[in-house]
Structure 1
Amino acid sequence: MLLVKNAIAPSSQTPLRIHTSLSPHMTTLNLLQALLLLICVLLSTIVALLPSVFDKQKSLSGRCVIFGLLAVCGLLVFIGTGLITTEQAKQNADWIHKVYWTLVFGCVFALPTMVYLLVNRQSKNSKRSSDTPEVISQPCRQELLASMLTDVIVRVEDSLHDDQLIPLLMEDRREEVGRPPEVTVNAKPSPSWLEKLPKFIRVTAESEPGKKIIDVFERDDIAGRLLILGAPGSGKTTMLLELAQDLILAAQQQPEKPIPVIFELSNWKDDKQAIADWMVADLKFRNKIPEAITREWLETGKLLPLLDGLDELKTRQGKCIARINKFLQTTSGLSQIVVCCREEEYKAGEEILTLRGAVCLKPLEEKQIQGYLQRLNCGHLWHGIQNDPDGLLALAKMPLFLHLIPVAYPNGLESKAKRFNSPDELEVYQEKCRKDLFDAYIKHRLEMPHDCQGYDPKDSKRWLTWLATSLKKQKQTEFFIEKMQPIFLDTTKQKLIFGLILGLISGLIFGLILGLISGLIDKKIELADDLTITWEKARKGLISGLIGLIFGLIGLIFGLIGLIFGLIFGLIGLIFGLIFGLPGEEIKNRNKPNQGIKDSAKNTIIISCILLPAGMLLYAAPLVVRGEFVEPISTMISGLGWALIFGIISAGLPVIQHFALRLILWKSGAIPWNYARFLSYANERRLIKQVGGRYRFIHDLLREHFAKM
């Protein structure tokens, strides 16, 4: 490659200079140092990536090979670093000889190892894409079923007070989905003489309490397309959870059964977004299910959507129903779906769902109320409830309020019957009864003894009120700590402070002015908690790197500087290709509070560590070009700085934004400093439901009550 024109100097104190025919400024020492620096960076990157490949190897021989490559690459990096940092006065013929051998062994191990990593990754991706139903879909199915079952069990247990399940009564309302009406869903085994009369004579019929909703769901005339209606607090969501639990258990035993997944329709924000696209995005965020798998499940009927909270959309309910109907028409493989909605809101709309059946939950009967209280040893409450037919008795006919009454009034009731001169007075009184019940329940829960450090009830109320108001503002029922956005800030002053803090923290990257602007425009915080990138994306980085290497070789024409910087950018491209091409598709659930931000912070550190060699290269390359001594500590510090900058740009910005937002909200008194701990505390008080990293009030009516406080 080089044409030697000068002989080696006899003294070791004189720097060696071997000129090339390509450039009078190019020296053997500088060129060898540059090549040695490049190979050390490439080997360091491979050393950082090999441990993840080691974990994926199943055979002992495969792991031994990876361990051997790791040891050899690490040894070569150690030797090469020592040679680079050797003073030039000592760079004699022996030094050149060692560098040559290090370069040879470095190339022998680096290039094949890099090819092995990329080819191995490509073959795995090809296998995944060709064998998706077997290789990815089945593991995803089992993990999703396990996650959904955990979610459902926790929510069902939170819905039961003192483990007492109240059998609910249903009546057929198939006319609500445009089908001929039926009288009852679950008739008694021995019908009375009244029930034996022809349908046109019968006016009503009782239903048998306690019959499972799955029996209705599996009826031949309904075939899995069901609408569940009911009044607020009547137990619609609880019944949906019971249905989901039975369906999940059946799906775990029978692989041909579809996967039941509960979706909250309050999270459907875009009126123009197709329901299928929304489901795909929702599952990707919650469970990291790849989009291609979710779409394949939907198209082949392997996913059973359970849609809750249609009434939460308010004025957008009709548009959502139209989108659901279109989804049912265009998704040929989908055969089953369940939707939950409040009866009054559904009837008020003009659109109807094109399903096959509908049931409506009936209010509890007095004997059911009295029996429930007696099972809890709270029979002394029945007299006060019975004497207030328009207030507490009306509330007690809804399972939610019946669960709350023994907690809110453990010492008994003194309610008395009242007369009302107008329907408006009755409505005002009923609203007051409901408010008093919620207030008493909250007071009792917050004053319960706590085995750890608790919170002042006034502070707890204020924090819960802020949370309920924020959820109402964003039209959501579920809350993720990592999904907190600048829109949660109430005043322009808070937004300016947010921008100021963000600008000060990230000023070295974007500047203070950009930070202030971003604080005012409510820019959404996008998480960077997923490093999964496909082979196609990684290949682009590798192509860019190879192009950079080609230009680096062309730089030989213009001298050593062109070679060095061409190789620098080419190697950085290769490093990025390795980084983003290696990770596989991993299925994860958000089962920890604030997991998205924690993963983003972890990814910032991972990216920074992997890019540390490239950062050191950016610092050391100009010194090598000028023939100056490369000091190890300075190189490490500078490289760490560059690596952190790239790491923050890639994944750390959401962490900075989230920290600034939490700092302002804490300082304003909207949230406590340890938010996850407080939400867990509220979960223990049965005010909040916590499922992994997700939080929601025990009922939408309680959330609405807090929002009005």
Structure 2
Amino acid sequence: MDEQPSKPKPNVLLRQVRRKKHLTQIQLAEQLSVSLDTVRSWESGRRRHPYPEQLEKLCTFFQMTTEELGFEATEETEVVFPKDSSALRHARINRRRMIRRVRATWIDGVLKESLHKAALIALGLQELPEALENPWRLTVQETNLPPRPLPPGTSIVEVYDDADGELLILGEPGGGKTTLLLELARTLLRRADQDETELIPVVFNLSTWAVKQLPLAEWLVEELFLKYHVPRQVAQQWLQDDELIILLDGLDEVADASRAACVKAINHYKSLHPIVHIVVCCRLAEYFAVETRVELQQAVAVQPLTVEQIDQYLSSAGKPLESIRKALEEDVDLQEMARLPLMLSILTLTYLGDGKASEGFALTGSREARRQQVLDRYTQRMLGRRAESRYTEQQTTHWLGWLASQMQKQSLTEFYLERMQPDWLGGGPPRHRYNTVLLRFIYAIESIVIISLFAWVRGGKIGNTATFGVGAGLLGQLGAGSGNTIWGWMAPGIGGGVEAGGSTGIVFALIFCLQILLISASGFPTISWKAGWHGFFQGVKSALITGGIISLFCVPIFIILGGGIVHGLVYGIGAGVFGGVLIGLLSGLLAGLRYETVPRSQDLEPKRPFRVRLLDGAIVGSAAGLSFALVDVALHIVLSSVIVYGTIAGFFCFVAFGFAGGSRLIPGLLGAIKPAESVSWEWESVAQHLPETLRKGLISSLFIALCVGAVLALISGAFYGVDYGVRYGLIYGLIIGLIIGIAGVLASLLNSGWSSRLLNEHQLDRPNAGIRRSVRNAAFAGVLFAPIGGLMSAACCALAFGLVGGLQGWPILGAGFGLVFGLLIGIQFFLIHGTIAWVKHYLLRWYLWRAGMIPINYRAFLDYAASRILLRKVGGGYMFAHRILLDYFASLHGEDTERASSPKEH
């Protein structure tokens, strides 16, 4: 076992007495002649036992005892971690990777590419005590102080240090709040890089908080997982131990109705973590529009640029900006607009080098209208920077307008291609077409897989002989010989004309469908008596309905192609029994296994018209029937058998996966796109979850084995006697229960093994990298578990056929079934754990393109917009160059929508 480092316990008492003395951490460090980090380590609990001479200084300075200062003892007992501790090694690796990740995303990707880089002027700061709800005021008898300008040249880092890491930054739109926040982050990252005891600064945008309105701790864990790819276990530990500096931007981007609740969530988190360092950014008007105030130590407002600063900046550039300087002197309103660093940068970029700059400044209307005109001109100028472009100005503004409106709807500040979701299509025809094509495509693929493998194993009629069985299929190729002789006493099969080779279809279909359910759910459901009875009644109802329909359909086919009424009745009713048992078992087991885990309201797929479901079934059934026929043809099976059994296979898939609505088989198929972006296998985590996984696997296997064995025993026993039925049901119940248990255990192990304590080295550093990585990870899962599942399945089948059934051909049966079930397991892991997400993503982009929302090559367009300084790249994602530009393009999209929806004039 690795030695786990003890959790630091914050020293709240020391912090309280320091604040009563009106001291910052820096001032206390100076008074005691120690480093700032030493004081921080005392208060954070990372150093719980100061050196004796330091503790003596503390007690003398505050005139308090050791216990009153929150320390346990006076002796030196520094906590030392073993150098070879894997927990410490993981912590150091995670720390380094997180620092690199934050720096790459926010410093290299945002701060260095900010529009403000054109106007880097030292911004003035003003204290705003009235912006805070400070619980310490009553204690230290503070009064409501008026706003106080800070000395010129005061940096945001100095303000942060004086505030003990609790700071509120306010300002006007485009006033430089986020730039100051990122400048602070850059300094804090440098400190963390140089000193392992320093906290890790992490930037979060609050815009997404309003979506679910979770407690702040839960939301931070989700953001660390989604935006920084930090395993949830690591994120929870960091937050629990207060190892992060939480930099919260975009409080103003939270919806008006939710902003007060967001402030309360921040305050509640702060009350639970009294020594945590938090910085919050918000626009002035939006902050003061709510009554609730953040409970932090200090608030500052970013001051607009002075006329002297603007003039000095423009003069320093010389002649290129002379025309702008003159225009600002002539237009007081424009000069007021330029007091915001962002607008000064936009004016500079728009009119720099423009010989007609003075004409371009002829702005009219309100202040808002003037700003709109400047942004119009800026967009036109940026799009015209190069003569050649594959996109017109109208296309660019339309596509960027749609993206901006979606980002506002989804409360996003950064956009990643792999984060697009089906609800971006809206609820109209494009979304319905997307759902329909997705269902048909996925279930057609699944049907082709299972039917092809079943046809390969089943074999069938050979040449012109009348022998039925496995001779031409996989088992025959492994040495089973012709006919059903390898099945020995099991050769009669389930009964009703369904011989042993055909009965394997029930086994295959059940294993196939239950594997999909367990693999897609990443583990075992909860089993209960209630779930069992619910599944039983659902199964009986489905069996009677399906068996009757299939019999009515198949009897005429066998009469026509088989030669005679008796033959048609026997084999047609046998097909009905086969289909009824199969669909009944499948429906009952799925209903029982899903009963405790899926709410009844979500268990039903969206209502689809009869005509659409009929077409669903026809497409899926045709794909299945054709694949069955092609395998039979490849095995040189006679044409009549190909037609008959290909039609039956197609009809089964028509009912099971098409017409009856197979979307319930893969939970969440029509829901959100969840690519498997990263894999960090952790054997330690697998071992930790293994006992619980095996316990659930045993219970589920027994439940499935009993259900399947009982049904097959009853059906086959009715035809061939009780002794035959019991043995027959026992063998197949054992096989199906064990193999499903294997699939569930592998799915659970995969889920636990991918929950790593280490941050993955790879980030979404390139656009759409997550989707491409998802397919690679899916292939990894398939290749990993196919041979494991195949070998274990082969062992289970050999055990059942040999030891329980006493069949002489058990080695061939075990090898054949193991090969097929291994392929099934591998294919399902490949599809469900990454490939379906890939299909959904590109299908979504296709329909967005068809709807005119995006270009066909979206990545190329986004790169183009970034090259025009309308967007900027953030790692593998994109942001608008500023929130003001996002609002501007969203307003353009709103105007386009209004024009499109308004009646045309005649």
Q: Which has the higher contact order (CA 8 A, sep 6+)?
A: 1
Q: Does 1:386 align with 2:329?
A: yes
User: Are the equivalent residues in 1 in contact too, given 2:324–2:358 (CA < 8 A)?
Assistant: no
Residue number among 113, 122, 128 corresponding to 1:158 in the alignment: 113
Larger CA deviation: 404-413 vs 231-240: 404-413
Contact residue 478 and residue 694 of structure 1 kept, 8 A: yes
| Secondary structure of 1:341 counterpart | strand
Q: For the structure 1 residues 539 and 627, does the alpha-carbon distance in structure 2 shift closer, same or farther, using more than 3 Å as the test? A: same
1:537 corresponding residue in structure 2: 689
Amino acid at match of 2:869: R
CA distance in 1, matches of 2:226, 2:435: 27
Q: 348, 352, 356: which is aligned to 2:297?
A: 356
Q: Deviations over 1:207-251 (max 9, x none)?
A: 5544320011111xx211111010111000001000110111011
Q: Secondary structure at the match of 1:218?
A: helix
Shift in alpha-carbon separation, 1:206–1:263, aligned structure 2, 3 A: closer
Partner of 2:786: 612
Q: 2:128 aligns with which of 173, 194, 208?
A: 173
Q: Is the 8 A contact 2:323 2:358 kept in 1?
A: no
Deviations 1:174-217 (A, max 9, x none): 221146999xxxxxxxxxxxxxxxxx9x9987655443200111
In 2, are the aligned partners of 1:370 and 1:379 still within 8 Å (CA)?
no
Q: CA deviation at 1:394?
A: 1.6
Aligned to 1:657: 840
1:30-429 to 2 correspondences below 5 Å: 134-154=88-108, 155-160=110-115, 164-178=119-133, 207-219=150-162, 222-270=163-211, 272-315=213-256, 316-334=258-276, 336-377=277-318, 378-390=321-333, 392-410=334-352, 411=354, 412-414=356-358, 428-429=365-366
Q: In the aligned structure 2, how far is the partner of 1:291 from the partner of 1:519?
A: 23
Measure, in 2, the Cα distance between the counterparts of 1:218 and 1:151.
24
- Tell whether the 8 Å contact from 2:414 to 2:877 is kept in structure 1 after alignment: yes
**Is 1:464 aligned to 2:419, yes or no?**
no
Give the letter aligned to residue 298 of structure 2: G
Instruction: Work out the CA distance in 2 between the residues paired with 1:343 and 1:436.
Output: 24
Q: Distance in 1 between matches of 2:748 and 2:130?
A: 59
Is 1:603 the equivalent of 2:777?
yes
- Cα gap change, 1:641/1:450 in structure 2, threshold over 3 Å: closer, same or farther? farther
CA distance in 2: counterparts of 1:414 and 1:231, whole angstroms = 27
CA contact (8 A) 2:115 2:346 kept: no
> Is the contact made by 2:135 and 2:295 (CA closer than 8 Å) also made in structure 1?
no
Q: Write the distance in 2 (CA, Å) between the matches of 1:418 and 1:444.
A: 16
Question: What is the deviation of 1:286?
Answer: 2.0
Cα 1:351–1:636 change in 2 (3 A) is: same
Decide which of 764, 767, 771 is 1:593's aligned counterpart: 767
* Pair 1:441-2:378 in alignment: yes
Say which SS state the counterpart of residue 168 (structure 2) adopts.
strand
What's the secondary structure of 1:278's corresponding residue?
Answer: helix
Q: Which amino acid aligns with 2:330?
A: N
- Deviation of 1:646 (Å): 3.9
Task: Say which of 480, 483, 502 aligns to 2:438.
Answer: 502
Q: How does 1:513-528 map to 2 (within 5 A)?
A: 513=661, 523-528=671-676
CA-based RMSD: 4.2
Q: Cα offset for 1:678?
A: 2.0
Distance (Å, rounded) in 2 between the aligned partners of 1:255 and 1:602: 35
Equivalent residues of 2:128, 2:300 under 8 A apart: yes
**Alignment: residue pair count:** 552
Q: What SS does the corresponding residue of 2:856 show, helix, strand or coil?
A: coil
Distance 1:329 1:678 in 2: 46
The 2-side partners of 1:572 and 1:638 are apart by: 10
CA contact (8 A) 1:387 1:416 kept: no
The structural deviation recorded for 1:490 is 3.2
* Matched residue SS, 2:671: coil
Change (3 A) 1:160 1:707: closer
Gaps of 5+ in 2: 1-80, 138-142, 447-656, 710-725, 893-906
Secondary structure of the 2:406 match is: helix
Per the TM alignment, residue 703 of structure 1 is displaced from its structure 2 partner at its CA by 0.4
Return the alpha-carbon distance in structure 1 between the equivalents of residues 117 and 886 of structure 2.
22
Q: Report the more deviating stretch, 394-403 or 161-170.
A: 161-170
SS at match of 1:360: strand
CA distance in 2, matches of 1:612, 1:235: 55
CA spacing shift, 1:379–1:528, aligned 2, 3 Å:
same
What is the CA deviation profile of residues 520-567 of structure 1, one whole-angstrom value per residue up to 9, with x for unaligned ones?
997333333345573243444445667899999999x95894676666
Deviation of 1:290 (Å): 2.7
SS at match of 1:662: helix
The aligned amino acid for 2:675 is: L
Counterpart AA for 1:379: E
Shift of residue 514, structure 1, vs aligned partner: 5.2
Look up the equivalent residue of 2:394 and give its one-letter code.
Answer: K
**1:293 Cα deviation from its structure 2 partner:** 2.8
Deviation track 1:335-365 (CA, whole Å, cap 9, x = no partner) reads: x210000011111211111111111111111
Whole-angstrom distance in 2 between the partners of 1:569 and 1:631: 16
Distance 1:499 1:402, change over 3 A: same
Given the superposition, is the C-alpha separation of residues 636 and 298 from structure 1 closer, same or farther in structure 2, using an over 3 Å criterion?
Answer: closer
TM-score after normalising by structure 2: 0.55
Q: Secondary structure at the match of 2:838?
A: helix
Q: Which range is displaced more, 627-636 or 360-369?
A: 627-636
Q: What is the alpha-carbon distance in structure 2 between the residues aligned to residue 544 and residue 516 of structure 1?
A: 22
Q: 1:569, 1:355 → 2: CA distance?
A: 55
AA partner of residue 338 (structure 1): V
- Output the CA distance in 1 between the equivalents of 2:236 and 2:135: 34
Match of 2:589 in 1: none
Q: What amino acid is the match of 2:674?
A: E
Determine the structure 2 residue equivalent to 1:672.
Answer: 855
Distance 2:187 2:848 in 1: 41
Q: Structure 1, residues 62-90: CA drift from partner, whole Å, max 9, x if none?
A: xxxxxxxxxxxxxxxxxxxxxxxxxxxxx
3-state SS in 2 of match to 1:229: strand
Normalising by structure 1, we get a TM-score of 0.69
Deviations 1:30-49 (A, max 9, x none): xxxxxxxxxxxxxxxxxxxx
Q: Is residue 233–residue 401 contact of structure 1 (8 Å, CA) maintained in 2?
A: yes
CA drift at 1:161:
5.6
CA deviation map 1:6-45 (0-9, x unaligned) = xxxxxxxxxxxxxxxxxxxxxxxxxxxxxxxxxxxxxxxx
Change (3 A) 1:255 1:158: same
Greater mean alpha carbon deviation, residues 636-645 or residues 405-414: 636-645
**In 2, Cα distance between equivalents of 1:165 and 1:177:** 29
Quick one: which amino acid aligns to residue 870 of structure 2? L
Q: Cα–Cα, structure 1 residues 592 and 633, in superposed 2: closer, same or farther, change >3 Å?
A: farther
Q: Which whole-Å CA distance do the structure 2 matches of 1:302 and 1:250 have between them? A: 14
Give me the whole-angstrom Cα distance separating, in 1, the residues matched to 2:758 and 2:111: 29
Amino acid at match of 1:685: R
